[in-house]
Amino acid sequence: MVDSISRMDIAFSIGANLGNRHAALAHAIKRLTDKIPDLICSSVYETEPVGYTDQPTFLNCACIGSTGLPIDDIYALIQDIHNELSRKSRPRWHEREIDVDILIYGSQIIDTETIVIPHPRMHQRAFVLKPLSEIAPSMMHPLFNSSMLDLFERCEDEAAVEFNCTAEHLLYE
């Protein structure tokens, strides 16, 4: 007997500011699409670093899809992507070869040593909210009961988030 697994919406933020940033984002998106075939990606944005600012600018995008995969499987996939792109361990908010974060996993609230969902600072980050509100403006934040567009419009983060390219350009260049 096969248990039916309920599907839920999932949202990711992907960023890189070292090496070939376009290629890193494209690789991460392709790997996520292997497990989440209906993945939709936002435009790619050039963004100022937040926290530690003495570093190169980032490329960031957001992706959404629907999955029946358990959160631990998704987390393992992200760790595989980080390893494939040779992500180095650095202090929080420092340079990244790649950074894939789970923002939303349905209406689930998860708080473990390794996984916190919804992402605890997403509502404070224009580089997360601008691309996410582009592709999922009505997606609701499970703690704030606000849409992504509403959170973006109320976000006080003034760091620059400028259009770089479309996701299609990124994936097919």
Residue among 34, 38, 54, 101 flagged as catalytic: 101
Cα distance between residue 105 and residue 110, in whole Å: 9
Q: What's the sign of the alpha-carbon dihedral 172, 34, 21, 124?
A: positive
Residue among 21, 96, 125, 157 flagged as catalytic: 96
Residue among 21, 87, 125, 157 flagged as catalytic: 87
Verify whether residue 72 is a known catalytic residue: no
Verify whether residue 7 is a known catalytic residue: no
Verify whether residue 125 is a known catalytic residue: no
Residue among 7, 73, 99, 154 flagged as catalytic: 99
Verify whether residue 157 is a known catalytic residue: no
Say if residues 18 and 136 touch (Cβ distance below 8 Å): no
Active site residues: 87, 96, 99, 101
